[in-house]
Amino acid sequence: MPTDNVPETFHVTTDEQLRAVSNLTRHRIMAVLRFEPATITQIAERLGLAKGSSSYHVRLLERAGLVKVVRTRKVRGVTERYYAMAARSIELPDPGAGQPDVLMRHAVADLEASPADGERHVGMAHLRLTEEQFAQLGARLEALADEYRKLSDPSLPDASLVFALFHPAPRDQAEEGAK
């Protein structure tokens, strides 16, 4: 992605922006645009969408301020627009207690849609940590993600890293919610 004048973080603050990022197709469009600009046609081809569907979703993302046109060119009398992310990363508001986390839902959907014969590293660890250890681990995970984000090369295949470090609901609360 071009790095000139691109803000580091876009903070999702409005309902329109939240609705825009809450859709799995738009999440996948943003993933396409994360490293390099693309046209509606290129996005549609990459995601297996109809051009009209791709155009509709990109317009919603653009209206919400999450993507923007970064260059145009004339092709056989038609103006071709190249879209890119409006910032290097997007920060979502905390979903709040008992609310689904949009990023985790999208990550699970992307994991389930990934090739079954592809290499994956998926695991879960249940830990017992002090608050200080919890904070240190969170900071180390963020630093590790940042380290590899800086190494990302648009010419290489996509890889997604998803992590969640949280305190689960107390057992009696979780059992009550399952009823």
Is there a contact between 80 and 38 (Cβ–Cβ < 8 Å)? no
98-141 pLDDT per residue, tens: 666 777 888 888 888 888 888 888 888 889 999 999 999 999 99
pLDDT (mean) for 8-36: 89
67-107 pLDDT per residue, tens: 999 999 988 888 899 999 999 888 887 776 666 677 788 88
Position 104: which residue type? M
Residue 175 has pLDDT above 80, yes or no: no
Position 75: which residue type? V
Measured CA to CA, the distance from residue 161 to residue 146 in angstroms comes to 11
Is there a contact between 83 and 37 (Cβ–Cβ < 8 Å)? yes
Q: Which helix (H) or strand (E) is 62 found in, with range?
A: helix 51-63
Is there a contact between 104 and 79 (Cβ–Cβ < 8 Å)? no
pLDDT score at 169: 77
Measured CA to CA, the distance from residue 49 to residue 121 in angstroms comes to 28
